[in-house]
Structures are given as structure tokens and as C-alpha cells.
Structure 1
């Protein structure tokens, strides 16, 4: 499909979009086409801003692969963790209005809030909820959020924090988490006197004219033009987790639940890049707070090699770094078969946004790099395929270094008659109960509050593991039993060392609490 180039009226009183130079337009269009074709994406929407003006908008593909409805600039995508910046902005608006302070204790708003360490509970401030400095391990407790749908509530998540043992010291190191953004959304609701979803509409969407964005519970049929998530299966893009009649106000909304169109995201970016577009929406003090380096982050070799990065830190819902000597503010989002990426170069009043409704991790990386380098290092002239090649070489090197799923002995289904006393109901203090019980002639593991986590117990060389139904082999886990009698425990351990960190099996410790029903 040919790109859609639009002249959009953005916010009341603002200028219309303008066309990029012929050379720039050709470069941007080629980059989007390369990403779309090379990574065989089902759909993509991309926008570029230069000096505060939208200079390029391009879309490709379909809302649902094979159904013929084309993606356009009004199509809704999951922005996933790019929601975090909006949650932070809601809190900043409340600080600006005098409804809370960044250094307020969390317990001022949520008296039942508890961390594992009572000292951390007392000293956790609102600001700490946003900057991944809690001492929790990477992705701790994420199994209460994903896979979706599940039966955990926001109250369950907040209560579960008290049982998650820290992996490090409070405020000592960076480790990305999602649960504390759920807490941040509830703090906002208490301070603002309205549910989180209402606050986002009131404080973000309405004043910035982000009319297509959706948060909370809503109807896809009523809204229309909603991209669906896809996964690669046998060389094809296959829909997975298609929306039902109603999208629920699920618990992780404040961490990654907003959906927006490309038009909306460009409005969001322009408001952030140029305070004059929406006078008074966010004052200089709060803008500075959002983009202050609050928590240092480790700098990976790729950033050093590609961008000459010297500093990397987390602000309030944003990653802050330098790229070719220029200030960069950015974030990515990954959720249920959709990928997003948003990057700003504030000193240039420029940036780009990418929305993808398929498996697009490498696609967003290579494409964003090409789009930004056009502005930070134009002499390099590298296109998407150049960066795609670098990523492929990285992966090949990791494989040669022994990363990836290890070789396993042939698998056989564990027979129920051979499973013995380990059959039964097991419980973890934050995740709840799972059953290891007979189904037919075999044994199935089922998580009571997370029904998507259901699978057959298999054995390889006498070692039991769970083969999930619908989650894919990347999520599979060994079952490790230890101890005797009342001290008998069950732990899960990822088979693939490169498993997504949201499968935080390492934080689980089950004890047997009863027989199979």
C-alpha cells in the first residue's frame, strides 16, 4: 500500500502539518517500507516531527491480516508502556494543582500499601513509584498482570507487593517494574478524586485534543478502526487475543493499558515539545520534573556503539539519554502482540513515533534508529536494513555464546498414576493457588487466578516441566520440587534463559495446601 501523507489540523490555534523536503520525505517513506517488508509486519503507523511540525505520516498494512481493512492515521493501537509517561503526566498535573507532592509518602493516599520491608513501606514516596528504584527484581510480580485476561484486581496487586522479596536495596539500583505504576494510578485516583481512567481523559486527552485515545472500559465496535495484535506462526501473521465486545478496565491500565491513534500520538508529542501549543497545561517546573534524570540506568554496548551514549537514566515515565551528542527522551511499549516506540529530541523540537500490531521488536528498533539518525547524524545515511543487519549479527553472536533455549531430551507426557503425592493444590502468597491434578491420563497445571496459564506436565530425561497451552515454548518452565512433608516446595524455573522478564517465575514459591478436588 502507498503511504498516506496527511495535512492535519492538530490543536486549536496551531499550524497545520507541513511536507518534509523531497529528500527527507523519500528517506522516511523508504524507511517505513523497508521495515514493513523486511519484518513482514501486519500493520504499521509512523509519524515524524521536525522543529515542532509534523513532516511525515505513513501507514502500511491492515488492522487484521487478510481482512482488507487498511491501517490509517486514525487506527487505534496499544501503546503499552508508553502509557507510563501519561500516568506520570497525570500525577504532574495533580502536583501542579496542589493535590499532591512528589515527595509525599505513598501511605498518605493508600494506607494499606505495604512493601516486603517495613522501612521501605514508610519511606516509599510518590516519585519512587515511577522510577524503578524499589529494590524489586526485574518484572517482579508481573504474573499478576500478564498473560491476559486474568482475575487479579488492583487490590490483589497492591496486597501482593508485601510478599515480593526484594532483589536489591531500595533506591540503589535500576530494575524495571510494572506493579508500582499500578500503585501510581491508584494514588492519582485518590488524590484526584476520580478513577484513573477518568483522570487520564480529563488531564491528558481532553486538553490535548487526543480524541481517539481510549482508556478504562470501552467498546471496540463503537469506536471503530482498532488494530488487533498478531503473532508469527508458520511464516504468517495470525491474530492472537482479539478484542471482544468490551475492552475491560483491566488492573494494569496505568502501566500499559492506553490505546491511541497515530494522530493522537503526534498531538501528544507536539504538546510535550512545545509548551506554547497548550498554554498552562503543564508548567515549566513539572515539565522539568518529568524529564529529570531521577534514576541512573546501565548503558548497553549497543547504545555505546550506535549512538555514542554517555548517560542513560529514567525520569518520570521516560528514558533519558544522549544520542550523537543530542538530548533524547524516549520510551518503548510491548504488550500482547503489539509494539510501540516514541522518541523525542527536545532541543530540536523533533521526534518520531512508531505503532505496530505484530511482532515488531526488531522492526521498531531498526526503524526508529534510521528515523532519528536522519536528524542526529545525517551524514551516516544508514537505512533500516543496515540496522536490521546489525541486530541479526547480535543475535547470531548470542547464539554462538550459548544463549537461547537449551537442547532437551525428548519429551513425554507425565502419567497421572506416576505423579504421586505431588499432585494437589499448591499456593504462593502473592500469586495464589495452582493445581497439579489429573486430566485424562496426564497431569495438568492450572493457575486459578490466571486461566491462560494452563498446561500439560511433561518430562525430559526424568525432569518435569510444563508445556503451556497457548503461551508458546518461550514461556515454558521446569517444575522443581524440594523438601519433605510440610516443608515441600514447588518452584518454576524458565527453560529459556532469554525468557520475557514478565514471566517472573523466580519470585514464586508454592507450598502444598490440599488434595486435588
Structure 2
């Protein structure tokens, strides 16, 4: 199916169709495979960004032609990363969730056009009309009207006490940022809902379905979802943060790994070997893999459904003119080549899978450290290996360009958090109490151990000391892994109205999953 044909199927704007016709159909051949070249690229990225561990695999014309691993599963552990090491693939889980649904469509157990409430009668969106008209396919394409990352505080930071039922109930209280199906904003909650739709239609839990419909038939023997024992699985990468110039393990696994509420959005773990097998299933399926999913559903997965904004960097680096979201995949033209990809980001873990279907080629990158820039640079260098093989630009060039871009950005806030001090009892006396947001639940803002403290009932990691900075208050979270501080803004009306509380990111550029701005608390009682 050509890229233009995909756009026609998706029913995207005529301007997109006109542009799609300009995409070159002749793509230059990639350079001969050079193991030493790939090793040099990998070593340069690891050295430049001081990564704790990484696993990279490259597929050329349906065959794995390179596997490279560096570093340790945990800094100082002495246990090396291998192609068998389990990594959190984060949002690369979304394509797997969409594929579970596709398998159920093939089996006649649901239709993409079915209303969500057919399977989840309690499902509600903020707008009743959207509730009635939300279809299963709408859950996958980020056009629901939810704000970017809306409700993500019910998923992260983890672990927390929110359930999937809490998420379904909470959606009714999250105000839309735009109208239904009118634009793109990335969300995670509706993938959790998609997992529950699959469970209702498939007659088993989401975790059981993933194993039944994906892991077992495709032979993804190392992938894990749900509850499992890390001491029995072994060889499991741990996430790292950079602290004082060192890679430090954060939120290390215990002997037992608990199920994640967010599994359908980003809770699957896989090894590089299994991710390469998953990629080959899409690029060059054998007879067994072809039987696993119909040609119709394979095609449907990669139809561009929701147009996405194209950044200045993407235009400059890749000449991208078409960029859209499908069923758990991003579709784009890069240097005239048709690409399908996704990234995954969790605290201390980064991943990317980039596929070039017309070449039956692609690659997978798994990293167990803070590595957004490293992932961006490595993804670009490997892509150019296929789309512009004669180009001499390498890791140093793209790393430098990325650093210049970062330095040129204007600060997004004119009110930095400086001059922090502990508020006095007199300053804070009117704000003590228990506050409630309709979807996030209760938080206590009370005196504990001589400090003013913020403690979230269902998200224990969102606990910290309240500080005064200038004329405002902020929360200094107890855990360094919660890296986005929040302003607290109290609002006092007349005596007939409760005190209200709103939050905002101290650093507006912090990860969108810290969706403090979507919270609207009211004080419901005093501190006991």
C-alpha cells in the first residue's frame, strides 16, 4: 500500500494528499553492512552521554545484521547487558496493545467501530456526547480531546494506589483541551481503557491476553507483563538517573515485580532479541507470523489516522512533510522514505523502534538510563544509514546540533523557584486542611514533624515538604526520582465557598505526564 493510498484510507485533508504525491518513490540503497562502523557509532554514543547500559539491534532486508550491547544492568553490578536482558519498553507497549485488539477483530470478538460503552458500560468522558460516540479505534489515536498527558498522575510516579477502575471513573472529570477528533494530543489513559476493552471482549485479563495473543504465538519468550519474579527471570536492566555526574539505580526491582495499572499504555518489558523478533514480524513475517494477523489488520495498523505536528528539527533533519499516528505507531516520511516507529520513555528507561517497511529494514534501541538526547542522536544516525547512506554526518554532528538547539531555547518561566524557606505557622495558618480533586482524590496539607507537608493519598511518591519561594509556595518532593516540582496556588473566596487549590509545574518544560495543571482541589475538611 503506498503512502498516498494510506492517506486516502485515513480520510486526511486534501493538502496532505497533495503533499504525499511528492514523496520520492526511489530510495537510495543503504551502504554495505559494516560491523566495525556500528560498533564505533554505539561506542561514541555511550561515551558522549555516559550511558549505564544499552542494547541495539539492526535489521536489513528482513535479517538481523547487527547486535551490540554495552554497560551493565545496574551500575556497579558487574553484570553486563546482553541481547537477553529485559528492558522496560514503555510506550512501545502501545503497538502490542493495539495488536491484541486487532487479533480480537480478526476473531470476530469486536469491531473497531464498536462504541466503547458496549464493552465498558461505566465508561464516561467529560462530554456525554463523546461518551456515546467514542469508538474502540478512537482509544488508540490520541484525538479524544484530552489534554496532553491528561490524567497521567493516576499512572505515574509509580508505584501508586490507583486502579484501572479509578482511571475509567476519573476520565469523566478531566476537562477536554479541544473538541473530539479535531486534533492530536498524546495520552496514556485511553490505552489503559483499550486494555480493559480487550479484556471484556476477549474474556481474560489484559495480561493474560497479551501472553495468549502475542507472546506465545510469536515466541516472545522473554517478554513479561503483569506479576513475575525477577529473581527467577534474571538478567533484568534497572533504570538509572544521573546524580552528581554518576549513573545511580532508581526504583530498583524487588524479587517480585507487581502488575502495573499502566501496562497497556507502557508496562511491558522485553529483551532486544524479542524486540527484534517483534520487528521482523512486521517487516518480513514468516508463514507462522503471517497467520498470526490478517493482511487486513496489518494494513489497518499503519494507516495514518491523526495528523501530528511536525517540529522544526524534524523538517530540518529529515525533510518530513507527513507525520501521523496510527494504531500504536507513528507514520512519517524521512528523506522520502516511508517509516513506522515509536519511542518509549519511563523514568530511567528509554527505547525506540524504527522500521522502514519498503526496505524490510529497521532497528531497535533499549537504554537503561536518562537518555532522551542519546536516543534522539542514535535514532537519527541509524536512520541516515538507510535514508542517506552517503551522508557523512555522525554522532558528533547531531549531538552538537541538539546541544545548540537546547541552548537557544528561551526560558519558559519568568519566575524561577529561588530563595526557598520554610513557611511560618502564621504565614500558612489559613491553608491547612485536606483537599480533594474529583479524579486525583485527596491530599493532606498538614503539619508533620514541624514541617508543612503535602501528602497524596493514592500516590505516595507525591509527598514532600512545602516551601515558600517569594510570594508563592511549592512542594519539594521527598524522592529525587519525582523530578518535577509543583507550585501550590491557594484561592480563598467568600465564607460560603471552600478554599481552592491549583498546581502548576515549576519548570514548564518538565515531562507532560506531571499534569498538575489539570488538577482542581477544594478543601473538604481540616487536619485531624
Same fold (TM over 0.5): yes
Contact 2:489 2:501 in 1 (8 A): yes
Equivalent residue, structure 2, for 1:238 = 248
Where does structure 1 lack aligned partners over 5 or more consecutive residues? 1-19
Equivalent residue, structure 2, for 1:357 = 368
Equivalent residue, structure 2, for 1:331 = 342
Pick from 435, 449, 453 the counterpart of residue 426 of structure 1: 435
Contact 1:132 1:174 in 2 (8 A): yes
Equivalent residue, structure 2, for 1:412 = 421
**1:448 maps onto 2:457 in alignment:** yes
Any idea what SS the aligned residue of 2:290 has? coil
Contact 1:416 1:442 in 2 (8 A): no
Contact 1:415 1:441 in 2 (8 A): no
1:126–1:23 Cα change, 3 Å? closer
Pick from 315, 327, 336 the counterpart of residue 316 of structure 1: 327
Pick from 217, 222, 231 the counterpart of residue 227 of structure 2: 217
1:80–1:464 Cα change, 3 Å? same
Any idea what SS the aligned residue of 2:137 has? helix
1:360–1:405 Cα change, 3 Å? farther
Separation in 1, partners of 2:159, 2:257: 10
Equivalent residue, structure 2, for 1:14 = none
Cα deviation per residue 1:204-258 (whole Å; 9 max; x = unaligned)? Answer: 1111111000001111011110000000000000010001121111110000000
Separation in 2, partners of 1:488, 1:206: 54
Separation in 2, partners of 1:351, 1:404: 39
Separation in 2, partners of 1:408, 1:118: 40
Equivalent residue, structure 2, for 1:507 = 518
Separation in 2, partners of 1:408, 1:145: 26
Shift of 1:381: 2.3
Equivalent residue, structure 1, for 2:18 = none
Separation in 1, partners of 2:456, 2:239: 24
Pick from 396, 403, 407 the counterpart of residue 412 of structure 2: 403
Pick from 163, 166, 185 the counterpart of residue 153 of structure 1: 163
1:471–1:125 Cα change, 3 Å? farther
Equivalent residue, structure 2, for 1:461 = 470
Any idea what SS the aligned residue of 1:168 has? coil
Equivalent residue, structure 2, for 1:290 = 301
**1:172 maps onto 2:185 in alignment:** no
Equivalent residue, structure 1, for 2:124 = 114
Shift of 1:356: 0.3
Where does structure 2 lack aligned partners over 5 or more consecutive residues? 1-29
1:472–1:262 Cα change, 3 Å? closer
Q: TM-score, normalised by structure 2?
A: 0.92
Cα deviation per residue 1:379-428 (whole Å; 9 max; x = unaligned)? Answer: 11221221111110110011xx2336853431101234531121010000
Pick from 314, 317, 322 the counterpart of residue 303 of structure 1: 314
Any idea what SS the aligned residue of 1:437 has? strand
1:121–1:23 Cα change, 3 Å? closer
Separation in 1, partners of 2:220, 2:159: 27
Shift of 1:36: 0.9
Shift of 1:483: 2.9
Give runs of aligned pairs for residues 10-89 of structure 1, distance below 5 A: 24-89=34-99
1:419–1:186 Cα change, 3 Å? same
Separation in 2, partners of 1:324, 1:336: 31
Paired residue total: 496
Contact 2:33 2:65 in 1 (8 A): no
Contact 1:45 1:71 in 2 (8 A): yes
Equivalent residue, structure 2, for 1:8 = none
More displaced 10-residue stretch of structure 1: 485-494 or 374-383: 485-494
Equivalent residue, structure 2, for 1:6 = none
**1:93 maps onto 2:98 in alignment:** no
**1:196 maps onto 2:179 in alignment:** no
Any idea what SS the aligned residue of 1:506 has? helix
Any idea what SS the aligned residue of 1:44 has? strand
Equivalent residue, structure 2, for 1:493 = 504
Contact 2:461 2:482 in 1 (8 A): no
**Two-structure CA RMSD over aligned residues (Å):** 1.4
Separation in 1, partners of 2:507, 2:31: 47
Contact 2:196 2:206 in 1 (8 A): yes
Contact 1:241 1:336 in 2 (8 A): no
Cα deviation per residue 1:425-444 (whole Å; 9 max; x = unaligned)? Answer: 00000000000000122200
Contact 1:275 1:282 in 2 (8 A): no
Equivalent residue, structure 1, for 2:147 = 137
Contact 1:132 1:295 in 2 (8 A): yes
Equivalent residue, structure 1, for 2:19 = none
After the TM superposition, which parts of structure 1 deviate over 3 Å for at least 4 consecutive aligned residues? Answer: 20-23, 403-409, 471-474
Shift of 1:488: 2.0
Separation in 2, partners of 1:390, 1:70: 31
Contact 2:51 2:371 in 1 (8 A): yes
